[in-house]
Structure 1
Amino acid sequence: MLSDTLKSQIRAIHQQMKTNLPGYQPRPGQNQLVAEMANIVAGSYHSYDRIGLVEAGTGTGKSLAYLMAAIPLALAQKKTLVIATATVALQEQLVNKDLPFFQTHSGLDFQFSLVKGRQRYACIQRLTQQIQQPELFAQAQVSQFAAMQEQWKSRKWLGDRDSLSEALPEQSWQLIQADAYHCPRQHAAHRNCPFHLARAEIDDSQVLVVNHALLLADLDAGSSVLPSPEDCIYVIDEAHHLADVGRDYFSARALLTSEASLWQDKVQKLKQLLNKALSQHAAISELLRLADATDEFFSQFQPVQRQIAELFRQQSKGEGHLRFADAVLPELLQRQSEPLRDSSQKVLNCIDKLFQLLLESANDGKLSTTQLAGLQQELSQLQQKFSNQAELWACWSQSQQHVSQARWLEADGPHISGHASPLSVSFQLEDLLFSQAHAVLLCSATLKTLGSFDHISRDLGLTEHPGLRRLEVASPFAYRERGLIHIPKLKTEPTDDAFTDELCRRLADFLRPSEGNLVLFASYWQMEQVAAALRQQGHSLLVQGEASRQALLDLHKSKIDGGNGSILFGTQSFSEGLDLPGKLLTNLVITKLPFAVPTSPFEEAMAEAITKRGGNAFLTLTVPATARKLVQACGRLLRQEQDHGRIIILDRRLVTKSYGSAMLNALPPFQRQIDQ
């Protein structure tokens, strides 16, 4: 139960927040949030099942509310507060703004850390090696690597991808990113790499900020980085993303038609290199085991490759993918799934042992840092290939007595890959998180779908939890007085081939070049087409992907603060977690309803499963998901009570389709102007 002492402490902290927060406005909704969330975490409603679904509208002060409710309880109960978000933007807001403010004015003694995945950090040793091989790269890339090295030395760069001053292409980042094999803490040259320095802060922190993917990966790995679930209070913000992130995490993909001979040549080359580098008896024995394991795998894999190529040629019908209805695999694939799972895992076990032996040799001075890095590079490439294989065959070997997966083949040029994705992750979430955690608060501005918590409860597997609390706190904003939704009349709908051409011609009519503009697109391709057309018309644009997200937002802000207008182009990731208050955004243009691609194999499998149960897949899946994304996008406009502006939606399906009125009614109650 929530003790009187804790109640008094939380009230006092709340008063400090009110006193010190610039421009504070009384928010009854925030008071309700703090009280309800504190009672859920304290077990006031249920002694052990402390779980809450909390929808808090824009402007309710949700982030500060859960800090006020959860941090005092975490400290009193000696638990770690883990805050998981779906977007980098919200992580940055918490770490750079909300938590420092709360730490300063709450009077509580605690430390906080931002915890990112290993691959968000650079390995400085790998960065140095790339600079030392300038003949392999374009001069511009070598220069950028060298600048990054200098920024790291002066600590102007923190060594992570998100704080880069200039965006780095994915292919370039992969050359320098940290991973468990290239950047081991056991090796002296890596102990001061950014990842290990960041991890050292965790032990001293009572509040940890992570993303959803890292949280799930850590839970699945048995809490290798974060504390055990029973020692944690979780606040999962942007929780409407959790199920989708879970499906991505528990999915598998592996290349199935690459030349087996190339793999075998790589294994043979690696054995020769390792034979020279590792002379101890244990290494020779492990190399023999690696040879046996890879031979076993390839003997099983080659007939499967032949069948996959033939199967795809005969049945894909030129669609680029071939989905297995009801997740039923062809007989040979089904029969070979378990043996391939086992043999690929044997290879991985050998690779892990060889990594350990390499590190031992390096620490004993038998290998130079350069030799170690080269061998690690070769070994890690092999490890990645077999890891993908092991994950796919493990998924495909699972019984499908009751269909629980989507399974398909997909072509990328001449190559065919195999895929598996769970239709639901409710079992995994229950097993790893909800049944283990001390308490879980799931928060979002859009947890309800078309007015109900039922969809999110089913998606997360919470319908049978006895202690589950559902709470809705509406936004305090005067939407009707402060904003307008305008749906103009266009000649085409987004399903028409000519829609992009009409966007190119007409989008400028809906911009306000002297104000803060955000234009949201459903695809990168369409965004780039329209951006090119508008630039030819003389418009200055800030386009997602042409610089880092933070660099674009900083430039947008500097233009507005300087008395000029700014036009920011972004895709779905800019439609939530983006905070552009006041003059930074007064004109929001949504080019297209954010429907998921209806032809994706996963969506097909979900629709198939719902239809076989007698449901309507479009109404059950597609419309609710799109409505939620649209609410999130419209939530970018008013971020503070004094904000104002308009939203232009260029998708006429909101008024021409039967589902349109339900989507419109799910939006905040802005004024509406619908051109006829």
Structure 2
Amino acid sequence: MSFTPSTPAALSALALQTFEQVVRSSPGFKIRSGQHAMAERVAETLAAADLGDQAAPAKAIAVIQAGTGVGKSAAYLSTAVAMALERKTRVLVSTATVALQEQLIHKDLPVLAASMDKPFVFALAKGRGRYVCKVKLDRLAGTGSGEEDLFEEDFPAVALSTASQEAIEERRIQLYDHMATLLAGNKWDGDRDTLAQAPEPSDWSAVAAERHTCTARHCPRYKDCSYYNARTRLAEAQVIVANHDLVLATLGLKTLPDLDNCLVVFDEGHHLPAVALDQFSSAMDLSNLRWLDKLPRTMQDVAKRLHLHLGEDITTVCSQLKTVLTQTQRLALDLVHGTTEGADGTLRFAHGVLPEPLHEPIAQISAQATGLQKALEALGVDVKAIAKEDPSMAALCAQLYAKLGALAPRLASLSGTAQLLLEHGEQPLAKWLQAESENGYLNLSAHACPMVPGDLLRQFLWSQVRGAVVTSASLTSCGSFDYFLQEAGLSGNPNVSTLEVSSPFDYTEQGTLTVVHTRAEPKQADAYTAEMVELLIRDLDEVQHGALALFTSRAQMRAATQALPTRLMDTVLVQGSLSRTRLLASHMARVEAGLPSVLFGLQSFGEGLDLPGKLCETVFICKLPFAPPSEPVDEARAEWLRKMGRDPFSELVIPATAIKLLQWTGRAIRTEEDRAQVICYDKRLQLQPYGRRMLGGLPPYRQLRRQGREAAQPV
């Protein structure tokens, strides 16, 4: 008779025992006290949470920063999976990047499954839009376009020649026929990512599965639907790997396990706040209005073919909506051009206050779009009902429902954005207009977005989660969790515990951090860039193997690239000159051949890039990665803080920069055998109080100071 632990302490002990067994059986096992401490905290946290129906459920969330080399995925996977199997529940692991998802699915979880006594199934969760809709494909295969282009997601932003249109049409015919043939021969599972060649986004969108266009169980292709087959496999898995976007986008939709009845791990958790803002932002297109001509025709056609009655004059309402949108378009363009001297750009509304001329038209858009949205939804309900009542009509209903659903997101964006633009409370929203011209075509849009991610996460995510671990290598800023907890909506939460697990690397022995003191002040952009580039080129001559130079702007990187002498032209590989994959492959090939190679990159190269050993022996930081509020949401939040007598530079800019700096310096030492140096050309890191705060949050590199070209001296 097996013993089933019932107390949190017993559950925790069992999970930790499994972790210890798994790591001991791993090839090249090394005792890592930090990894054990992390596993222990994961076990204690997840054991303390009540799952399922409870009157007053206990909640527990651990926020764990695990430095490079700790082995955090092994610490949380073995512990959480063992706990889930014992509690007969599931584990949801959410990441921010595809790279980590692939590592978990193809490496970490297979290894764990092979070393655990209890078997378990794991699966990767993807959004519905990654799968083909066979109903749409059936309609398009052989023609390249649907009747009246009913599934066309967007009109081209530029006028195309007849030859170009014919080329696109031919490409689509070949693509859709090819996909249909693969499906018919059971040589493709309908997952976009498993196609040998990735299709153009516009081609794929015409056949992508979407919630708005799907009749689900009433669809004649339901039993062999690629998306629902994947959902079935997901339902059979005890461990599900997803991403932050999908988790937040599907809250309440039953796509993933209920968060109050499973164990959750957010790896790369420092991305959660930014993902939350992106998920809860809203925008309306003010430049492309032709779809409004198609909306009444589509609704009337569906109603006529199924003998249904439309309750209101859809044609008149659509005409009124198009008129007010055209009026708003002119007003918006005048407002943008009035502040940008006739040029394209962004106009943010100060303090979230909508200009008076826009109040009435935006209110009309809200009322009319909401009315049409309800009429469209009601018609869709009727279509589904017919499919349910008469299976012989299911195929036709699926096609007609897809017609309606293709237009639903447009109405939803108008209704939702207009309502947010009209909203004004104690904490204002960020609101702005964006005008962009491309090849003679104008894109004009209106945007609204909450500006404090913590409030969103607290309301929509943490209110549901019972037991969770949030982990990353960069959750602290200037040595404190305070900034992340605030941004993530966890500050002041009594159910939250924090743990910082240091890297097992000996940074003092393995690396140095040299701060170069320039004559020019970093705020003197032109003079500083010129001097920094001169010093950087001098240091590039010393590179023997691999190095990485990180820039804060494209203009700064361009200045350094243009200043390269002929002798360094072949040594430097610049981000954007090739795809990321080819760029890294070229870098590795040069280093392996014994040649020096330097990568020039921006922020995306400062995080998640793993170049151990000779591939990266030096990281050049060309300037502290400050991100002054320039995006509308950042500007609005800074404005709001200043209005409340608070300092956005201290509260937002410094902590965010410190986290980026921690990520950037983390590119240098990736293994216990690495020897590397970090060279930063921004003297503020040692001279300014905030710079010294940032230094306090970095690994304990041996610090040096260099005056211009002089030899470096210990600090």
- Which bracket does the TM-score occupy, shorter chain normalised? 0.7 to 0.9
> What are the superposed Cα offsets for residues 523-577 of structure 1, whole Å, 9 maximum, x if unpaired?
5676678668879864277665677656665665566567666555543233223
CA drift of 1:404 comes to: 3.5
- Cα deviation code 1:50-92 (max 9, x no counterpart): 1222122222221111113322222222222111111222222
1:358-378 residue CA offsets vs partner (Å, 9 max, x unmatched) = 787898479789x959x95x7
Distance in 2, matches of 1:191 and 1:419, equals 40
- Decide whether aligned partners of structure 1 residues 674 and 130 sit closer, same or farther in structure 2, where only a CA change above 3 A counts: farther
Determine helix, strand or coil for the equivalent of 1:675.
strand
Matched, 1:618 2:618: no
8 A Cα contact 1:82 1:233, kept in partner: yes
Aligned to 2:711: none
Q: Structure 2 CA distance, aligned partners of 1:78 and 1:661?
A: 49
Distance apart, 1:21 and its partner CA = 2.3
**Superposed displacement of residue 386, structure 1:** 2.0
Q: Is the 8 A contact 2:60 2:495 kept in 1?
A: yes
1:198-257 deviation per Cα after TM superposition (whole angstroms, max 9, x unaligned): 3232101111111111111111xx13301222112111122222111111111111123x
Separation of aligned partners in 1, 2:325 and 2:248: 31
Separation in structure 1 between the aligned mates of residue 181 and residue 363 of structure 2, nearest angstrom = 50
* 1:311-460 aligned within 5 A: 311-316=335-340, 320-335=345-360, 337-352=362-377, 364=392, 372=399, 376=402, 382-400=407-425, 402-413=426-437, 414-460=442-488
Q: 1:199 to 1:292 in 2, by over 3 A?
A: farther
**Counterpart of 1:628 in structure 2: which amino acid?**
I
Residue 604, structure 1, aligned to residue 629, structure 2: no
Measured in 2, the distance between the counterparts of 1:87 and 1:27 equals: 26
Separation in 1, partners of 2:607, 2:551: 13
Q: Name the counterpart of 1:280.
A: 306
- Distance between the aligned counterparts of 2:359 and 2:269, measured in 1? 36
- Whether 1:95 and 2:105 are equivalent positions in the alignment is yes
In the alignment, the residues of structure 2 paired with residue 541 and residue 660 of structure 1 have an alpha-carbon distance, to the nearest angstrom, of 29
Contact kept, 8 Å, 2:49 with 2:466, in 1: the verdict is: no
Report matched runs for 1:481-492 at 5 Å: 481-488=509-516
Q: Bigger CA drift: 571-580 or 309-318?
A: 309-318
The 2-side partners of 1:137 and 1:337 are apart by: 37
Distance change in 2, residues 1:337/1:79 (3 Å):
farther
How far 1:660 sits from its partner (Å)?
Answer: 2.8
**1:664 to 2:677 alignment:** no
- Larger CA deviation: 5-14 vs 181-190: 181-190
Q: Quick one: structure 1 residues 291 and 559, their matched pair in 2 at CA, closer, same or farther if it must change by over 3 Å?
A: farther
Distance in structure 1 (CA, Å) of the matches to 2:259 and 2:670: 34
Maintained 8 Å contact 1:434/1:440:
no
Say whether the 8 Å CA contact 1:166–1:547 is kept in structure 2. no
250, 254, 258: which one aligns with 2:284: 254
Report the Cα offset of residue 604 of structure 1. 1.5
Structure 2 gaps, min length 5:
1-5, 51-55, 145-164, 708-715
Task: Report the counterpart of residue 237 of structure 1 in structure 2.
Answer: 267
5 Å-filtered alignment, 1:555-594, equals 567-594=598-625
Task: Answer whether contact 1:90 1:577 (CA < 8 A) is retained.
Answer: no
Q: How many residues align?
A: 664
Query: Any conservation in 2 of the 1:181–1:355 contact (CA below 8 Å)?
Result: no
Q: CA deviation at 1:114?
A: 1.4
Q: CA deviation at 1:494?
A: 8.2
Aligned amino acid, residue 329 of structure 1:
L
Structure 1: runs of 5+ lacking an equivalent = none
Q: 3-state DSSP class of the match of 2:230? A: helix
**Aligned residue runs from structure 1 range 44-83, under 5 A:** 48-83=58-93
- 1:344 is paired with a residue of what secondary structure? helix
How far did 1:669 drift?
1.6
Taking a change above 3 Å as real, the CA distance of residues 291 and 461 of structure 1, as seen in their structure-2 partners, is: same
Match of 2:247 in 1: 215
TM-aligned CA distance change 1:175 to 1:673, over 3 Å: farther
Provide closer, same or farther for how the CA distance between residues 201 and 109 of structure 1 changes in structure 2, counting only shifts above 3 A. Answer: same
Distance 2:565 2:259 in 1: 51
**Which residue number corresponds to residue 19 of structure 1?**
24
Cα pair distance change 1:180/1:434, threshold 3 Å: closer
Whether the aligned pair in 2 keeps the contact of 1:59 and 1:475 (CA below 8 Å) is yes
Once the two structures are TM-superposed, the CA of residue 428 in structure 1 deviates from its matched residue by 2.9
Q: Distance in 1 between matches of 2:331 and 2:687?
A: 46
User: Per-residue CA shift, 1:284-305, capped at 9, x if unaligned?
Assistant: 537x654354245345545434
Is the alpha carbon distance of 1:339 and 1:135 closer, same or farther for their aligned partners in structure 2, counting shifts above 3 Å?
A: closer
Match of 1:467 in 2: 495
Corresponding residue for residue 113 of structure 1: 123
In the superposition, relative to structure 1, how do residues 476 and 207 fare at CA in structure 2: closer, same or farther (>3 Å)?
A: same
Matching residue's letter, 2:124: L
Please point out which of 21, 26, 40 is paired with 1:35.
40
Provide the identity percentage: 33
Task: Tell me if structure 2 keeps the 8 A contact 1:325–1:605.
Answer: yes
The range that moved more, 536-545 or 441-450, is 536-545
| Greater Cα shift, 151-160 or 43-52 | 151-160
Equivalent positions of 1:158-237 (< 5 A) are: 170-171=201-202, 174=205, 177-180=208-211, 187-188=219-220, 192=224, 194-219=226-251, 222-237=252-267
Give deviations 1:459-485, integer Å, cap 9, x for gaps: 223233222212111112101211233
CA RMSD of aligned residues (A): 4.2
After superposing the two structures, state which structure 1 stretch, 158-167 or 402-411, moved more: 158-167
Tell me if structure 2 keeps the 8 A contact 1:54–1:443: yes
- Cα distance change of structure 1 residues 417 and 660 upon mapping to structure 2, 3 Å threshold: same
TM-score by length of 1: 0.84
Distance of 2:676 and 2:71 partners within structure 1: 21
Counterpart in the other structure of 2:525? 496
The CA distance in 1 between the partners of 2:351 and 2:394, in whole Å, is: 54
Q: Could you tell me whether the CA contact under 8 Å between 2:512 and 2:676 is conserved in 1?
A: yes
Moved more, 414-423 or 510-519: 510-519
Change (3 A) 1:618 1:544: same
Paired position in structure 1 for 2:663: 632
Contact 2:270–2:475 under 8 Å retained in 1: yes
Structure 1 pair 338–37 and aligned structure 2 pair: CA distance change class (3 A): farther
2:318 is the alignment partner of 1:294: yes
SS at match of 1:484: strand
What whole-Å deviation, never above 9, does each CA across 1:306-345 have from its counterpart, x for those lacking one? 4333333434556822222221112353455455334213
Secondary structure at 1:599's aligned position in 2?
coil
Q: Specify the code of the residue in structure 2 equivalent to 1:225.
A: T
Aligned to 2:545: 515
- Letter of the 1:231 counterpart: N
Q: Quick one: distance in 1 between partners of 2:269 and 2:551?
A: 23
Counterpart of 1:476 in structure 2 is 504
Q: Residue type of the partner of 1:310?
A: D
